Amino acid sequence: MYRWDFLPVLANADLLLQGLVNTLAVTGTALAFGIPLGLALALARLSGRRWLAWPAGFVIEFFRTTPPLVQLFWFFFALPVLIRVEMTPFMAAALTFSIQSAAFFAEVFRGGIVSIERGQWEAARALGMTPPQSMRRIILPQAVKRMIPAFMERAIELMKTTTLVATVSYADLLFQANEIAQKTFRPLEVFTVAAGIYFTVILLFSLMARQLERRLAVSGESTVH
Amino acid sequence: MAEPLLRTIGLRKSFGEREVLRGIDLSVAPGERIAILGASGSGKSTFLRCLNFMEIPTAGSVELGGRMLGAERKRRDGGIDRVYAEPELTRVRQRVGMVFQQFNLFPHMTALENVMEGLRTVKGVKAPAARERAMAELARVGLADHAEQYPARLSGGQKQRVAIARALAMDPELLLFDEPTSALDPELVGEVLGVIRSLAEEGRTMLLVTHELGFAYHVATRVIFIADGEIHESGTPDEVLKHPQRERTQAFLARHREFSL
Amino acid sequence: MNYQWNFAAVFEHTDALLHGAVGTLRLFAICLVLGLSLGLVIGLARYARHRLLNWPATAFVEFFRNTPVLVQILWFYFALPMLVPFEISPLMAAALGISLNSAAFSAEIYRGGIQSIEPGQWEASRALGMTGLQAMRRIILPQAIRRMLPALTNRAIEIFKMSTLASAVAYVELLQQGKLIASLNFNPIETYSVIALVFFVFLFPLVRATYALERRLAKGD
């Protein structure tokens, strides 16, 4: 019978905590760049101009279709050779996950935008608004409200995906856990605790997302008329 | 006769293979109120929507205030198309207001914000002035006390009145009503028609697609009956509604006889 | 900046890449079958009224949906051997992690699909004298599966992408072989570009098929 011993984990709690902070840092950075970039990609794809729509479509499909770990390796190992810059694990991770989540956010934006009834466009245009004005004032505010659940889900997926940075030696929670496990020879306890931390943090976000979703559904403002 | 405010010449519109408008000539003088009748699918709504370019006409032209809209472009086969640039259309739409069958209020804005939106975004009016103007328009349609409500909390009739106020706030020279009461419960039709009637009494120029024949009879200065994408019959309300000359008009009116003249 | 691209060096190792591709496909097949079938069982259990079935299924789904797959794989590889008397191979660890994770996600797809069927269908089946299980098998599931198809193919694509995580425990699959080639030849650009393209070329038709399924479903049910 295995004898559990969590003391070695507790002794290294500061390392785990620092790992969690780093995980949140990568997630936050990727969100901060990924959401605006995703909006730009969605608008480009919807622009109706082929020279904009086509490249945007390609970026979106490519980054949604290829495995994130392959992307990360490409940005970490390959890109520095190509452009001769020093690539830190954090930079590679931020770059990969910003673009990757932008591709997913773009589809969320696009779905939200096309879900708005034609009548809204017509009413905006009938008032004399230009297409950009209609998009900014009338369509996007409504679309964003509908997209919030999908947004939260994507953000949670992103946080889970950031564990991949451990494979390029960025000191996120998973990487720290692995280090501690090797140092203390207590992989069972360390990985169990790490899984527990991820579970707690992500579940917390999920519950918040669900709560928000329910509030939006009740207020009735997420539906039209 | 006064210089027409709006004129269409040989206006045509096709959706793919289907030709919905087959050449419509119509001249609207200032102060005229024209009711447009027709069976569903006759092209009457499409015609109205071509006048503020919600639909771009396939052929023919539209003149607003004596100026022909759009620019000519030669086709490969030697024919001539009219093309419309977005900035011109935006200006046209500021002069031609539209009220939709489905209201199309902006659900993320209060009634007041809905009415202010065109003033603020399109005309660049400052917030206090826009607010004052919007309140006046809401008062005119009898909804001053509902200014802070979101559309979701308004009845259909109230929504449509807000939509009318939204159009009025832009000071349009011409108002287009696209079946403004068709989506309403019967008991709510009256309040909307009442507002439109009061606008008529102010002498506003308007085109109104409607199924309310009695209303058309009392409010319109002219009635046109559209069938198969053409003006089939037109005249004063008395002429068209009481003494229709052509068979299809008579048949259409016979089906809608329940109205009281 | 003027990098000299040279793909020849990558294709000298085609045999290694093929070896990796076989590994990827093997892992994919295992996880697809295990994940989707286990997911059905759990999805049905979540639908069950009995708390003894319902509660553990819910806990399973919540746990595996709310932890990262890579953490699960590493847990099975490094931590589980402490508890069980046998060795855990890289394939086993990866297959366990990815399958259980996919089971949790597909359980939600099944549940959503089943719930989307109108109550009238249940009532009609019961009115004919069918048992609950018969109604589920003969009437509800066939209709629900049709609606779930896009979500399920989507899951399959996700499983394929997740298979790369097995490289973290040195399981021989495409990415792992890519690492090997890149370190042998010092040509990470070409190697990882080729790997990315292989995945894209293989998965994009599946993505398109999913879109087509979604469109067909949206049009008429």
Can you tell me the distance from the alpha carbon of B152 to that of A142, in angstroms, rounded to the nearest whole number? 14
Interchain CB distance below 8 Å, B97 and A224: no
Domain assignment present for A223: no
Task: Say yes or no to pLDDT of A225 above 60.
Answer: no
- Mean per-residue pLDDT of chain C: 90
What is the extent of the structural domain holding A31? Answer: 7-218
Which amino acid would we find at residue A50?
Answer: R
The Cβ-side half-sphere exposure at B260, using a 13 Å CA radius, reads 0
Question: Around Cβ A14, how many Cβ atoms within 10 Å?
Answer: 9
The answer to whether position A1 is within a domain reads no
Which residues of C are less than 8 Å from A82 in CB distance? 3, 189
Query: What 3-state class would DSSP assign to B108?
Result: coil
pLDDT of residue C125: 86
Residue A2 has a CB neighbour count (10 Å cut-off) of: 8
Please answer yes or no on whether A138 and B106 come within 8 Å at the CB atom. yes
Question: Do the beta carbons of residue B62 and residue B51 sit within 8 Å?
Answer: yes
pLDDT at A223: 39
Q: What is the CATH number of the domain that holds A200?
A: 1.10.3720.10
Distance CA C66, CA C97 (A): 13
Residue A144 tokens read as: 């964003």
> Which amino acid type is present at position C185?
N
Q: What is the pLDDT of residue B14?
A: 94
Q: Which domains, and CATH codes, for chain C?
A: 11-220 (1.10.3720.10)
pLDDT at A222: 43
Q: What is the DSSP letter of B3?
A: P
The answer, yes or no, to whether residue A224 has pLDDT greater than 60, is no
Query: How many A×B Cβ pairs under 8 Å?
Result: 75
> Is the confidence at residue C2, as pLDDT, over 80?
no
Q: Is residue A41 part of a domain?
A: yes
* Contact present, B55 and B189 (Cβ < 8 Å): no
Contact between B209 and B50 under an 8 Å Cβ cutoff? The reply is no
Interface touch A225/B152, C-beta < 8 Å: yes
Q: Model confidence over C86-109: pLDDT tens digits?
A: 889 999 999 999 999 999 999 999
Residues 6+ apart with CB under 8 A from A35: A101, A102, A105
The 3 state secondary structure assigned to C101-133 is HHHHHHHHHHHHHHHCCCHHHHHHHHHCCCCHH
* Residue A211 pLDDT: 86
- Residue A91 counted as domain residue: yes
Q: Are B51 and B63 in contact (CB under 8 A)?
A: no
Q: For residue B234, what is the enclosing H or E element?
A: strand B230-235
Please state the rounded mean pLDDT for residues B46-73: 93
Q: From the centroid of its chain, how far is CA A99?
A: 9
Question: Per the domain annotation, does A84 fall within a domain?
Answer: yes
Q: Is the pLDDT of residue C1 over 60?
A: no
Residue with tokens 């004298």: C129
Half-sphere exposure of B261 (CA within 13 A, CB side): 11
Contacts of A190 in chain C (CB under 8 A): 79
User: What's the mean pLDDT in A191-212?
Assistant: 90
Confidence of residue B59 (pLDDT cuts 50, 70, 90): very high
Interval B191-238: pLDDT, tens: 999 999 999 999 999 999 998 899 999 999 999 999 999 999 999 999
Is residue A2 included in any domain, yes or no? no
pLDDT higher than 70, residue A221:
no
By CB atoms closer than 10 A (0-12, 13-18, 19+), residue A218 is exposed
At C134 the three-state DSSP class reads: helix
Residue of C nearest to A157 (CA): C68
Tokens for B99, please give them: 């009220």
- pLDDT for A8-46, tens place per residue? 888 888 999 999 999 999 999 999 999 999 999 999 999
Question: What residues form DSSP beta bridges with B9?
Answer: B61
> Each residue of C152-201: pLDDT tens digit?
999 999 999 999 999 999 999 999 999 888 888 888 888 999 999 999 99
Tell me the HSE value of B208 on the side-chain side, using a 13 A CA sphere: 30
- CA A180, CA A183: separation in Å to the nearest integer? 5
- Looking at the DSSP bridge assignments, the partners of residue B222 are B34
First-last CA distance in chain B: 28
Residue A103 is assigned to a structural domain of this protein: yes
pLDDT for res A219:
56
Give the model's confidence band at B6: pLDDT under 50 very low, under 70 low, under 90 confident, else very high.
Answer: very high
To the nearest whole Å, the CA of B251 is away from the closest chain A CA by 33
Inter-chain touch A66–C157, beta carbons under 8 Å: no
CB contact under 8 A, C83 and A202: no
Cβ <8 Å between B54 and A128: no
Bridge partners, residue B64, by sequence: B6, B67
Residue that is written with structure tokens 């901060």 in the block: A32
Assess contact for B227 and B199: CB atoms under 8 A: no
Burial C50-69 (b: 16+ CB within 10 A, else e): eeebeeebeebbebbbbbbb
Specify the pLDDT at position C5. 81
Residue type, A113: I
Q: Among A2, A26, A60, A69, which would you mutate to test the C interface (most chain C Cβ atoms within 10 Å of its Cβ)?
A: A69
Q: What is the pLDDT of residue C146?
A: 86
**Residue A224 included in any domain:** no
pTM for the predicted model, two decimal places: 0.85
Quickly count: other Cβ atoms within 10 Å of residue B136's Cβ. 14
Which residues in chain A have their CB less than 8 angstroms from residue C189's CB? Answer: 78-79, 81-82
**What is the predicted pLDDT for the residue at C156?**
94
User: Do the chains contact at C199 and A71, CB–CB below 8 Å?
Assistant: no
Residues of C with CB under 8 A from a CB of A: 1, 3, 62-63, 65-72, 74-75, 78-80, 82-83, 157, 160-165, 167-168, 175, 178-179, 182, 188-189, 191-193, 195-196, 199-200, 203-204, 207
What integer pLDDT is reported at residue A218 of this predicted model? 63
What are residue B16's phi and psi, to 5 degrees? Answer: 65, -125
Q: Which residue has the tokens 């830190």?
A: A88
Alpha helical stretches, state H, chain B: 44-51, 86-95, 111-117, 127-140, 156-168, 186-201, 213-219, 237, 247-255
pLDDT for res A22:
93
Tell me which residue of B58, B54, B52, B76 sits closest to B18, measured CA to CA: B58
Based on the structure, what is the number of domains in chain A?
Answer: 1
Q: Which residues of A touch B91 (CB under 8 A)?
A: 128
**Would the CB atoms of C200 and A65 count as touching at under 8 Å?**
yes
| Chain B residues interacting with chain A (CB cutoff of 8 angstroms) | 52, 54, 86-87, 89-91, 93-94, 97-98, 100, 102-108, 117-118, 121-122, 150-152, 159, 163, 166-167, 170
CB contact under 8 A, A163 and C70: yes
Q: What would the pLDDT profile of C31-88 be if each residue is shown by its tens digit?
A: 999 999 999 999 989 877 788 888 999 999 999 999 999 999 999 999 999 888 888 9
For the segment B92-136, what is each residue's pLDDT rounded down to a tens digit?
Answer: 999 999 999 999 999 999 999 999 999 999 999 999 999 999 999
